[in-house]
Amino acid sequence: MNRLVLLGAGVLMLCGCDRSGSVDAQPTLTLYTSVDDAFAKMVVDAFTEQTGIEVHILGDTEATKTTGLVTRIQAEMEHPVADVWWSSEPMGTILLDQAGALEPFGMRNRVNHDWPDALHASNWSWVGMAMRSRVIVYANDRVENPPTTLAALTDPTYKGLVGMARPQFGTTRIHMAMLADQWGVDALGQWLEAMHANTLRLYDGNASVVQAIALGEIDIGLTDTDDVFSGQRNGWKVDLVYESDTDHPDWPSIGPTLIPNTVAIINGAPHRALATELAAFLVSPTVEELLYQSTTHNTPIDRSLRALYKDDVLNIDRLPDYIGASGKVREAMDVCEQVLISP
C-alpha cells in the first residue's frame, strides 16, 4: 500500500513539472504585433508584472508592418504559433478574420457592451481600441494657414509642396482604401490625378514625410498623429491639423480619419486560456490609458477614459466602415499604381 502511495505521488510530481524539473511552470505566450517595439514592450511588461505570465513578442520590419505578419499567420493556420494578434491597424485583422485565422467570439465580453459597432467584428473575433488619426502636417514656420481638407491639397498654391508616404504599405494604404470606400474608386482616382498634377512627392514612410517638412523639402504632408508628435519631440518646426468635415461635391469628408489598434485571439492558439487573459488585458482601460499617456497619445474608446479626458480626445461619433473599406484595398492599390507609381 505504501509503495502505491509513493508511486502515485511520484506521478503527480512528474505531471506538475516541465522538462527542466520546475514545478507548475507556466508556458510563455507568443504575441504577434505590428505595434512599435517600445510600446508593445511597455504594455507586455505591465501585463507580466500584473499576472506573472511571460510573453514572447514577435514584431515585423518597418517597411512591411502588418503585411508580413498577416502573411505569416495565414501560413501557420494549420499549426498556429501565435496566441494573440495585436495590430496597429484594422485591415490586416479583417483579412485574417475572413480567412478564418481568428477565433470566433474570442473577444466577446472583453470590452463594455456599448463598444461602437464599427470597432468589433460581428462575431467578436476582433476588437478595435486606442485610435490614432491621419492628419495634415505642416511647417509651422512657413505655412500660416494650412489646408484642412484633402480637396484643398489639390490647389495649385501647394504645387510641389505636398508629400505623403508610398501607398503600398502602412496607414497610407488603409487611408486610400477608406477613401475608395467613401468616395468611390473613380473619385479616388480623380483626386490622385489632381495630386499628381500638383507634383505630389512620395516618401518611404509617414515619419519620412514629417522629416522632409523639417528639412524644407516640402511644406505640407499627410501622415499620422504619432509621427507628428515624434517630430515635435525632436524639436522640428511641425504642427498638425485634423481634416475638417466638408460636403465637397467630389471629395467630401466626415472629419479625421481614425485608425484603431485591433486585438484578436488566434484560432487554435497553443495556450488558449492564457491567450484570453492577454487579449482581455490588451483591450482594457489600463492599456488604453497607457497608450493615451504615452508619446503616441492614442484616443481611447473606453467611455470612462473618454469622460475623464473629454477635453483632449477625438470625436468617435462618425467612424469609417472599416470592414467595407477592407474590400476596397485591392482596387485602391490598383488606382494608386496607375496614377502615382507608373503613370
Together in a domain, 223 and 335: yes
Residue 7 lies in a domain: no
Residue 113 has what pLDDT?
Answer: 80
* Spatial separation of the C-alpha atoms in residues 162 and 152, rounded to whole Å: 11
H helix or E strand, kind and range, residue 71: helix 67-75
Residue 129 has pLDDT above 70, yes or no: yes
Asked if residue 218 belongs to a domain, the reply is yes
Is 243 part of a structural domain of the chain? yes
Mark whether 226 and 304 lie in a shared domain.
no
Residues 194 and 240 in one domain: yes
| Residue 288: other Cβ atoms inside 10 A | 24
Which range marks the domain in which residue 32 is found? 26-131+259-314
Q: At what angle do helices 91-99 and 67-75 cross, to 10 degrees?
A: 10
The string of pLDDT tens digits covering residues 144-176 is 999 999 999 999 999 999 999 999 888 999 999
20 domain-assigned: no
- Residue 235: what residue type? G
pLDDT of residue 343: 61
- Based on the fold, state whether residues 143 and 227 are members of the same structural domain: yes
On whether both 85 and 158 belong to a single domain, the answer is no
Instruction: Report how far apart the first and last C-alpha atoms of the chain are (Å, whole number).
Output: 86
| Type of residue numbered 298 | N
Same domain, 54 and 101: yes
Q: Is residue 189 domain-shared with residue 336, that is, in the same domain?
A: yes
Look at residue 15 and tell me if it is in a domain: no
- For residues 252 and 294, membership in a common domain is answered with no
In a domain, 91, yes or no: yes
Same domain for 336 and 220: yes
Domain count within the chain: 2
What is the per-residue pLDDT across 70-103, written as a single tens digit (0 to 9) for each?
999 999 999 999 999 999 999 999 999 999 999 9
pTM of the prediction? 0.88
Q: Is the pLDDT score of 16 beyond 50?
A: no
Counted residue by residue, the chain has a size of 343
pLDDT band at 29 (very low <50, low <70, confident <90, very high): very high
The contacts of residue 19 (CB under 8 Å, 6+ apart) are: none
Whether residue 121 is found in the same domain as residue 137: no
**Cβ-based burial of 16 (10 A; exposed 0-12, middle 13-18, buried ≥19):** exposed
Residues 237, 177, single domain; the answer is yes
CATH code of the domain containing 158 = 3.40.190.10
Maximum separation of any 2 CA atoms in the chain, in Å: 94
Among all chains, which residue has been given the C-alpha cell 466638408? 246
Mind listing the pLDDT tens digit for each residue in 228-287? 999 999 999 999 999 999 999 999 998 999 999 999 999 999 999 999 999 999 999 999
Do 66 and 116 fall within a single domain? yes
Whether 284 maps to a domain, the answer reads yes
In-domain check, residue 321: no
Residue 202 bridge partners (DSSP): 164
Question: If you count DSSP H runs as helices and E runs as strands, how many of each does the chain have, helices first?
Answer: 13, 9
